[in-house]
């Protein structure tokens, strides 16, 4: 199968100044509804973010994200560069950062759907992206959030982490984690560390059946556009891979 025919996930982040935050907040409704019935669009979610690195209990009302899943790469590129939706975001946001991702593994459900169709990974690309999504049962979200600050601190300090941001459809209940790592070994050293805060939080939540719905997906980043706080961390890592492959 050619690269152009593989499903592509596009995740775009938007940062808004104080006078544009209300507009950004409205997009949680307007953009979500406005993209319905878009040709070639398989799945889409408008997402808010948490404070700090995205995992704080208080929402970050200045940062939002749009996840779209496309039947093929050229549709994703066209949407990101020329669609009216992205033009409006660029008009109101002072910073836009977009990541194009190839799904390589996925299990579970998001809104009762499996949105990602995995393809064979590129053996020359050692970067790994992890996206998790879970709906917490209401009776359990207070115990879960007690552990979040400790998980966030250990997450952002872990070796090999390139980029991360906590996302969500609804504050405190529908949570999404997103992280980009230098290698699968470094990611698994964090996620599967039985003495770590992340492993403890997930294990405890599952044992108590605190998740109503859960999804776990892995991707490879293909390329990126724009900046995040003035830099392109994923693009820089991809450039290093290309540079190494040429030598």
Domain boundaries, the chain: 3-246
Q: Which residues contact 84 (CB under 8 A, 6 or more apart)?
A: none
How many whole angstroms separate alpha carbon 52 and alpha carbon 60? 8
Q: What is the pLDDT of residue 98?
A: 98
Determine the average pLDDT of the residues in 69-94: 97
Query: If we measure between CA atoms, which residue out of 218, 7, 216 comes closest to residue 108?
Result: 216
Count of alpha carbons within 13 Å of 58, Cβ hemisphere only? Answer: 5
Chain-centroid distance of CA 37 in Å reads 23
More confident residue, 49 or 138: 49
pTM of the complete model: 0.86
Residue 58: beta bridge partners? Answer: none
Q: Which two tokens stand for residue 123?
A: 């053996």
User: The domain 3-246: what is its CATH number?
Assistant: 3.30.70.100
With pLDDT > 70 as the criterion, what percentage of the chain qualifies? 75
Predicted local confidence at residue 161, as pLDDT: 93
- Residue 2 pLDDT grade (very low, low, confident, very high; cuts 50, 70, 90): very low
pLDDT of residue 4: 46
User: pLDDT at position 128, please?
Assistant: 97
pLDDT-derived band at 239, boundaries 50, 70, 90: very high
Q: How confident is the model at residue 211 (pLDDT cuts 50, 70, 90)?
A: low
Q: What is the mean pLDDT of the chain?
A: 84
Q: Residue 238: phi, psi to the nearest 5?
A: -65, -40
Mean pLDDT, range 80-94, rounded to an integer: 98
Cα–Cα dist 149/46, whole Å: 24
Q: What is the pLDDT of residue 38?
A: 95
Give the number of other CB atoms < 10 A from CB of residue 26: 10
Q: Exposed, middle or buried: residue 135 (CB in 10 Å: 0-12, 13-18, 19+)?
A: buried
């Amino acid at each position: 199968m050619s690269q152009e025919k593989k499903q592509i996930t596009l995740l775009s982040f938007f940062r808004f100044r104080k006078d544009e935050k209300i507009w950004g907040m409205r997009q949680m409704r307007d953009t979500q509804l406005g993209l319905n019935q878009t040709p070639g669009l398989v799945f889409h979610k408008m997402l808010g973010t948490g404070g700090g690195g995205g995992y704080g209990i208080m929402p970050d009302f200045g940062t939002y994200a749009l996840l779209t899943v496309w039947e093929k790469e050229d549709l994703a590129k066209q949407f990101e560069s020329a669609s009216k939706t992205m033009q409006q975001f660029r008009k109101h946001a002072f910073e836009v950062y977009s990541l194009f991702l190839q799904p390589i593994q996925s299990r579970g459900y998001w809104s009762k759907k499996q949105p990602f169709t995995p393809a064979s990974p590129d053996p020359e690309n050692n970067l790994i992206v992890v996206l998790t999504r879970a709906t917490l049962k209401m009776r359990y979200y207070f115990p879960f959030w007690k552990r979040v600050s400790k998980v966030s601190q250990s997450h952002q300090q872990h070796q090999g982490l390139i980029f991360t941001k906590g996302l969500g459809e609804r504050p405190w209940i529908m949570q999404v984690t997103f992280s980009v790592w230098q290698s699968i070994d470094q990611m698994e050293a964090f996620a599967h560390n039985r003495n770590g805060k992340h492993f403890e939080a997930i294990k405890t939540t599952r044992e108590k059946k605190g998740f109503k719905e859960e999804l776990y997906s892995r991707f490879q980043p293909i390329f990126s556009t724009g900046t995040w706080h003035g830099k392109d961390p994923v693009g820089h890592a991809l450039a290093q891979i290309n540079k190494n492959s040429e030598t």
